[in-house]
Amino acid sequence: MAKTFTFELVSPERLLLSEEVEQVVIPGTEGEMTVMAEHAPVMTGIKPGVITVVRAGSEREQFVVFGGFADITPDGCRLLAESATRVKELDRADLARRIEEVRAEVQGARDHETRTKAEEFLGQLTTLEGALLPA
């Protein structure tokens, strides 16, 4: 049996999850990564995407996050999410509304830099929507 570590998922409004898990797949800004026990200390940004938590006995649970940070140490992983929900509780209308908002931001962007940033975010969100829709 694989070793477990403490995984905490916190959003500003509440502590969503704090328990022993075997592995966690997180969407880092530099690409997806799987965190297991005794991972080297890493701090990474999170882009909008799906987090998969695997508990002992390979029981899975999925969350959607909209950006944030992960603080990974050998004995635990703390994920500070901008906002996070369980996949099954996700409100599709809410996601669509977010996408609309970002789209408006892209249109209204004044300089090149903010536009690129907003476009990138929009791309991430639409990918996320695409990944979730068939579910």
In the chain, the amino acid numbered 111 is: D
Q: How far apart are CA 45 and CA 17, in angstroms?
A: 19
Smallest distance from the beta carbon of 14 to another protein, in angstroms? 4
Fill in the per-residue mask, 68 to 107: x = in contact with another protein (CB under 8 A), - = not in contact.
Answer: -x-x-xx---x-x-xx------------------------
Q: Which member of 10, 37, 99, 132 binds another protein (CB under 8 A)?
A: 10
State the DSSP code for 22: S
Q: Which member of 2, 42, 56, 135 binds another protein (CB under 8 A)?
A: 42
Q: Which member of 2, 20, 34, 43 binds another protein (CB under 8 A)?
A: 43
Which residue number, 17 or 87, has a Cβ lying nearer to another protein?
17
Smallest distance from the beta carbon of 57 to another protein, in angstroms? 26
Place of tokens 């965190």: 35
Residue 89 dihedral angles phi and psi, to the nearest 5°:
-95, 0
Burial of residue 93, with CB atoms counted within 10 A of its CB: 0-12 exposed, 13-18 middle, 19 or more buried: exposed
Q: How far apart are CA 34 and CA 97, in angstroms?
A: 30
Q: Which member of 14, 88, 110, 112 binds another protein (CB under 8 A)?
A: 14
Say if strands 76-81 and 5-10 run parallel, antiparallel, or are unpaired. parallel
Q: How many CB atoms lie within 10 A of CB 97?
A: 11
Q: Which member of 1, 38, 41, 58 binds another protein (CB under 8 A)?
A: 41
Please give the residue ranges that form the binding site for another protein (CB under 8 A): 8, 10-15, 28-30, 40-45, 69, 71, 73-74, 78, 80, 82-83
